[in-house]
Chain A
Amino acid sequence: GEDVEQSLFLSVREGDSSVINCTYTDSSSTYLYWYKQEPGAGLQLLTYIFSNMDMKQDQRLTVLLNKKDKHLSLRIADTQTGDSAIYFCAERPYNQGGKLIFGQGTELSVKP
């Protein structure tokens, strides 16, 4: 089946690293995504990774993919108060057009 799971909350101190985790069930997923949603706003695409990669780095963001365990993580280095938001992990199953399946979202709270 298709299911994406995330922990609901994460609290960190400003300047620390944040790691947001996600597990998915569909081994045929082609791409995995991270989106950010601030209050009252739409979803902002942060980064995505192709399923045959195991790591992708983009400035303060590092995505790690463990395909065997179907585990995805997003590391934010030097977390700032402006990073406070809800972070969604999403998978794109194979052969279902562009359909994305989202997790419930992880609310990241950054304390000064």
Chain B
Amino acid sequence: DSGVTQTPKHLITATGQRVTLRCSPRSGDLSVYWYQQSLDQGLQFLIQYYNGEERAKGNILERFSAQQFPDLHSELNLSSLELGDSALYFCASSAPSRDEQFFGPGTRLTVL
């Protein structure tokens, strides 16, 4: 158990809908990262937040947005969902000035 928690574990929804994925980092970690794992694209970095501020951005679609709250948990919002958004979404966290990223168990999103 890495100490990073993600909810829900599974999510099934329809095209055009909007969902919110939630992540709680390890105690003391200020950075939160979101990654998408799909069969065709592999593991792709989406976005990083550090203590509430956006720190780095990957190939995150405009339909996707994220934020980190004052209690340091983070949410990834996916809207106007398409079949191709079906994937595993991972959150990771890291401590200040540390180089290890610890991953949560992931949320499996299925868009029908």
| A interface with B by C-beta (< 8 Å) | 31, 33, 35, 41-45, 48, 50, 88, 90, 92, 96-105
Q: Which of A41, A45, A96 contacts B101 (CB 8 A)?
A: A45
- Contacts A88-B43, A97-B56, A98-B55 given; indicate if A42 touches B100 (C-beta within 8 A): no
B contact face: mostly helix, strand, loop, or mixed = strand
Q: B103–A98 contact, CB under 8 A?
A: no
Q: B103–A44 contact, CB under 8 A?
A: yes
Beyond A97-B50, A98-B55, 4 additional contacts (C-beta under 8 Å) are A42-B4, A97-B55, A98-B48, A100-B101
- Number of interchain pairs (Cβ within 8 Å): 56
A-B contact pairs, 15 of them (CB 8 A): A42-B4, A44-B2, A45-B100, A45-B101, A90-B43, A97-B48, A97-B56, A98-B33, A98-B94, A100-B33, A100-B35, A100-B45, A104-B42, A105-B42, A105-B43
Q: B106–A92 contact, CB under 8 A?
A: no
Docked Cα-Cα span, A100 to B44, in Å, equals 8
Report chain B residues within 8 Å CB of A97.
Answer: 48, 50, 55-56
Docked Cα-Cα span, A94 to B43, in Å, equals 19
